[in-house]
Amino acid sequence: MEFSRKKAKEAQSREFVTIQPKEVLATLTKAKITITNFLGGEYFLTVDEVKLENDKIYLIEGKHAGSIAKNSSILPNNSDIKDGLLKMILYTNLKNTVVNNIPKNAIPVLLLSSSKLKSVINSVANETEFEHFCKENKLKQAQQNYLKTLFEEAKTNGFMVILKER
């Protein structure tokens, strides 16, 4: 068990200092997260970006569509989004989140970006805003349905999804 924890901590440290080429974030504020369960198990993760705001900490997992090249898609690929959803499951279940010994309310955010997007929307947008976003970004019906499902998942499970230009 100690060997596994040591290896997991080492992996967390490597990920913490690694900037992926596709990561285009508002800040360079990666953070280390240690989750401890009721049985004393420890899980060492990193989050792509954090934002502190009063009593809240936004835990932002970024997923980006393709490269900056013209042929990139408008949404990140399905497996990247699923990876982000897995982290949202973990982050929505955090209790007693503490930053520098100060309690914070954790707000999980799945940030999806693409160089092809022309505007920003989030999962709490109303129907009119959603329709405008889809029209402005020329989303196909299948993409619109996918986003509606993803936004419903976010609302049901207590996290936020943001789509924005890279």
Mean per-residue pLDDT over the chain, rounded: 85
- What integer pLDDT is reported at residue 27 of this predicted model? 52
Is the torsion defined by CA of 131, 138, 65, 25 positive or negative?
negative
Q: Is the pTM of this model over 0.75?
A: yes
pLDDT in tens, 41-61: 888 899 999 999 999 999 999
Domain locations in the chain?
Answer: 2-165
Across-strand partners of 68? none
Cα 116 to Cα 114: distance, rounded to the nearest angstrom:
5
Cα 119 to Cα 38: distance, rounded to the nearest angstrom:
42
pLDDT in tens, 116-129: 999 999 999 999 99
Cα 74 to Cα 165: distance, rounded to the nearest angstrom:
9
- Alpha-helix residue ranges (DSSP H) falling in the chain: 2-17, 78-92, 127-136, 141-157
On the 0-12 / 13-18 / 19+ scale of CB atoms within 10 A, 48 is buried
